[in-house]
């Protein structure tokens, strides 16, 4: 697989990463199966998808434990990214950016991941009660202590941005400019896909201008862009899409023209090319510092996603995708 270098720390990773969250959080429903996820993780590393993206809150904690089982055997093959700053309570998810907590959380993540160093440590969300510079300073100390190689920031969600009365990524860019004064940002993680391209407006250009890598979360639109989901088929109660405004039967039906456009482009590249290939290739085409991180827990989809790195879209393909109708339905 092609390798991409991201950030001031010159982090080398496979061009297509693996989002591990669905293996134990948000999408797993009643079908959580550890053996299946372990096979998927090993397959990703076999294919060169070296970036394994997890977080302490996924599960919580169980996702890191799962990834740790693979890292124990294949640490040299993997680039591990995990996150800190969110705590899962009985009813709410809350931010915690206190320096002492960040340091304790890092030590706990290292134990669960069965490794001596985290390649990329990301601030999941800034704590509104703690200046972000203080949280980032504690994370920088972890780099100097040799526990972390580089630091990243996970972008604020659309709902939080609207509550702050800002543009979608304005708050994240302000945070980035503040923490850059403390310690270099190597990567930003935010959603980017054909049906959610908002990061192209300001956030991705900021990363490009500052030499910061961009980890594209949800490049397959939570599975919608694969063309394998049927409107009205429904989701398990524990699947976050069961409560998502864009995944109602009505909205899924309304957004089928986007999938149809992906299918048309795929058809021009041969029978083996799928809408998922095209969706990931579109993300890859947005810049050499962009790494899509599709999430899955199934070995077959890991292989399909990884092979998207071989697809090169033509200018005509990209123009057709740019002309697709905007997605309908709220994204949060």
Which residues are tagged catalytic?
Answer: 58
Name the DSSP letter for residue 155: P
Burial of 315 (0-12, 13-18, 19+ CB in 10 A): exposed
Tokens representing residue 243 in the block: 């409560």
Sheet holding 290-293, edge to edge: 18-19, 51-53, 79-84, 118-123, 148-154, 187-191, 213-217, 290-293
Say if residues 298 and 31 touch (Cβ distance below 8 Å): no
> Closest Cα partner for 239 from 24, 82, 48?
24
Distances (CA, A) of 94 to 85, 87, 103, 139, 184: 8, 5, 17, 19, 26
At residue 192, φ and ψ (nearest 5 deg) are: -155, 125
CA dist., res. 235 & res. 133, Å (int): 40
DSSP per residue, 20-65: -GGGTSSS-GGG--HHHHHHHHHHHHHHT--EEE--TTTTTTHHHH
Tokens representing residue 140 in the block: 């920088």
Say if residues 160 and 169 touch (Cβ distance below 8 Å): no
């Amino acid at each position: 697989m092609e390798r991409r270098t991201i950030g001031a720390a010159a982090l080398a990773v496979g061009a297509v990463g693996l989002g591990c969250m669905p293996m134990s959080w948000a999408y797993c429903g009643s079908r959580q199966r550890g053996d299946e996820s372990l096979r998927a993780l090993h397959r990703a590393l076999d294919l060169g998808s070296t970036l394994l993206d997890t977080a302490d809150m996924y599960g919580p904690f169980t996702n890191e434990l799962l990834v740790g089982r693979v890292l124990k055997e294949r640490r040299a093959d993997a680039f591990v990214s995990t996150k800190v700053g969110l705590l899962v309570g009985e009813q709410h998810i809350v931010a915690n950016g206190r320096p002492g907590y960040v340091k304790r959380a890092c030590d706990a993540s290292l134990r669960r991941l069965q490794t001596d160093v985290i390649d990329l440590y990301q601030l999941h969300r800034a704590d509104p009660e703690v200046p972000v510079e203080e949280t980032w300073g504690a994370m920088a100390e972890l780099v100097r202590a040799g526990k972390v190689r580089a630091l990243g920031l996970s972008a604020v969600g659309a709902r939080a941005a609207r509550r702050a009365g800002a543009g979608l990524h304005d708050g994240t860019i302000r945070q980035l400019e503040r923490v850059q004064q403390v310690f270099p940002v190597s990567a930003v993680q935010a959603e980017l896909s054909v049906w959610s391209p908002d990061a192209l407006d300001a956030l991705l250009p900021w990363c490009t201008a500052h030499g910061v890598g961009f980890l594209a979360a949800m490049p397959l639109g939570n599975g919608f862009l694969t063309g394998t989901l049927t409107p009205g088929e429904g989701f398990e109660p524990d699947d976050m899409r069961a409560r998502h405004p864009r995944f109602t039967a009505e909205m899924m039906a309304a957004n089928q023209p986007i999938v149809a456009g992906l299918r048309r482009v795929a058809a021009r590249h041969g029978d083996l090319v799928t809408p998922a290939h095209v969706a990931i290739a579109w993300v890859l085409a947005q810049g050499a510092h962009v790494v899509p991180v599709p999430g899955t827990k199934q070995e077959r989809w890991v292989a399909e996603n990884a092979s998207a790195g071989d697809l090169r879209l033509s200018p005509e393909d990209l123009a057709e995708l740019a002309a697709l109708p905007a997605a309908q339905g709220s994204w949060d």
